[in-house]
Chains A and B, each alone.
Chain A
Amino acid sequence: DVKVTQSSRYLVKRTGEKVFLECVQDMDHENMFWYRQDPGLGLRLIYFSYDVKMKEKGDIPEGYSVSREKKERFSLILESASTNQTSMYLCASGGDSNQPQHFGDGTRLSIL
């Protein structure tokens, strides 16, 4: 079974802090993704990576950056957290276009 592990289920941070969300997958997938999920808006893609050190912007990249130094790990960084970044963050990984993405359990992030 594919396992996608996110480092925290719940996280509370303060406005202006730098926040790191970590994601690790164990299936040697090339592609990894970060989404945020908000009521009424569904899942929206923030960034994705199709190889080590490669990244592409998704639909809502503003205020975020990412890092992929190793194939199995994909980090989402909030450079200076703001209250409108309070959300559920979901990481996913997938192989080629014939395979579905598999999701981690999510991190519920609150910015105070």
Chain B
Amino acid sequence: EDKVVQSPLSLVVHEGDTVTLNCSYEVTNFRSLLWYKQEKKAPTFLFMLTSSGIEKKSGRLSSILDKKELFSILNITATQTGDSAVYLCAALTGANSKLTFGKGITLSVRP
């Protein structure tokens, strides 16, 4: 059975802090690892990682994949209250692009 585990499940930080969100996976026919941010509504796409060791960056967010150790991290530097959300990690597998999600990490950024 495919499995994706995220840690910690929740996190409270203050504005300006740096956070690291973890995601490990055990799946068959792995293709890519995806990160999404979910506020009140639809999850919005952040990153798609297919190759090991190549960091992807978007502003204050960055992410990297380790295919040997089967994990990924999402870093957020200089956090802002607008970063408060649930962060979802998912493994993309198989020919039909099936996603298996972790349970999500709830990040709260206090002013």
User: By the criterion CB–CB under 8 Å, are A94 and B97 in contact?
Assistant: yes
Cβ distance B111 to chain A, nearest Cβ, rounded Å: 26
A22 within 8 A of B: no
Total number of A-B contacts with CB less than 8 angstroms? 59
| Cα–Cα, bound, A101→B36 (Å) | 10
Q: A36-44, A65-73, A78-86: which one contacts chain B?
A: A36-44
Residue of B nearest to A43 (CB): B101
The tally of residues in A whose CB lies under 8 Å from a CB in B reads 29
List residues of chain B with CB within 8 A of the CB of A24: none
Cβ distance A25 to chain B, nearest Cβ, rounded Å: 12
User: By the criterion CB–CB under 8 Å, are B97 and A43 in contact?
Assistant: no
User: By the criterion CB–CB under 8 Å, are B104 and A104 in contact?
Assistant: no
Interface size class of B (residues with CB under 8 A): 20 to 34
User: By the criterion CB–CB under 8 Å, are B99 and A33 in contact?
Assistant: yes
* B interface majority secondary structure: strand
| Cα–Cα, bound, A74→B63 (Å) | 32
From A43, A45, A104, A105, contact of B88 by CB (8 A): A43
B60 within 8 A of A: no
| Cα–Cα, bound, A94→B25 (Å) | 21
User: By the criterion CB–CB under 8 Å, are A42 and B42 in contact?
Assistant: no
User: By the criterion CB–CB under 8 Å, are B41 and A41 in contact?
Assistant: no
List residues of chain A with CB within 8 A of the CB of B103: 40-42
User: By the criterion CB–CB under 8 Å, are A100 and B45 in contact?
Assistant: yes
| Cα–Cα, bound, A31→B95 (Å) | 11
Residue of B nearest to A104 (CB): B42
